[in-house]
Amino acid sequence: MVLRGKFIVIEGPDGAGKTTQSKLLSQFLHSKGIKYLYTREPGGTKTGDKIRDILLNPESKISNMAECLLYASARAQLVNEIIQPALNEGTWVIADRYLHSSIVYQGMGLDLGIDIVEDINKIATTGLMPDVTFLIDLDTNTSLGRINRSKDRIESRGEVYFRKVREGYLNLAEKYGMIKIDGNKSVEEISLELIKNIPLK
């Protein structure tokens, strides 16, 4: 019997350092001889990348519920096509964002409500939940200050929205057993904290 791969999710506001840490964690798993793959949301499949273009394009006109459902659709495709098959064959998955992002950005940030976003995502993911979830927490001024490219549709929402996002993550952390990490620490320190909490056994 093949041992199921571990499913690791890295969450946090835009600019918190998720992509940087995903890369370092990938290197760590590689050094341990663990087969892994990296996914980022929205996207990670051909269909998901098309949905990503719609979602992030500042020209798109999308209602709040349509936005929530589009993120969930991209996620459903990612779970079905990539994540679940990988875990089944023993490959680990490092996911740069998962359903927690929808609960926070759409459920709390857009006031759609936590319950409905949870329900939609339970269906979209067939209930697949991570083995470990990290929350890289960072104050809004610092995280927004780290984004030095042109802003996409979500990033253009401004400071008030992103304060709700940050608070949302902090409020959700306990319910979802997220391991909270201070995003103000150095890249190396954060990486060590992640590695310390990786279930190698």
Ligand X SMILES: Nc1ncnc2c1ncn2[C@@H]1O[C@H](COP(=O)(O)OP(=O)(O)O)[C@@H](O)[C@H]1O
177-196 residues in contact with ligand X (CB under 6 A) are 186-187, 190
What does the block give as tokens for 6? 């571990």
Q: Tell me the CA distances in angstroms from 134 to 29, 66, 151, 152, one per residue in order.
A: 16, 27, 25, 24
Strand-pairing partners, residue 92, are 36
> Residues 9-48: x/- map of binding to ligand X (CB under 6 A)?
---x-xxxxxxx----------------------------
Residue nearest to ligand TYD (CB): 105
Binding partner of 186, given ligand TYD, ligand X, none, CB within 5-8 angstroms per partner class: ligand X
Q: How many CB atoms lie within 10 A of CB 119?
A: 11
**DSSP character at residue 181:** E
Give one word for 17, left, alpha or beta, with left for phi > 0 and alpha for psi -120 to 50: left
Which lies closer to ligand X via its Cβ, residue 15 or residue 109? 15
Binding residues vs ligand TYD (CB under 6 A): 14, 18-19, 40-42, 71, 97, 101-102, 105-106, 154-155
Strand-pairing partners, residue 38, are 94
Binding partner of 102, given ligand X, ligand TYD, none, CB within 5-8 angstroms per partner class: ligand TYD
Binding partner of 130, given ligand TYD, ligand X, none, CB within 5-8 angstroms per partner class: none
**Does 49 appear as a known binding residue?**
no
What does the block give as tokens for 192? 């060590």
CB of 118 to ligand X, least distance (A): 23
**Residue 146 binds ligand X, judged by CB under 6 A:** yes
Q: Tell me the CA distances in angstroms from 112 to 63, 104, 169, one per residue in order.
A: 11, 10, 15
Residues in binding contact with ligand X, number by CB under 6 A:
12
What does the block give as tokens for 195? 């590695």
Q: Give φ, ψ of 76 to 5 degrees.
A: -60, -40
CB of 180 to ligand X, least distance (A): 15
Binding partner of 17, given ligand TYD, ligand X, none, CB within 5-8 angstroms per partner class: ligand X
Amino acid at 79: V
Which lies closer to ligand TYD via its Cβ, residue 3 or residue 111? 111
Residues that bind ligand X (CB under 6 A): 12, 14-20, 146, 186-187, 190
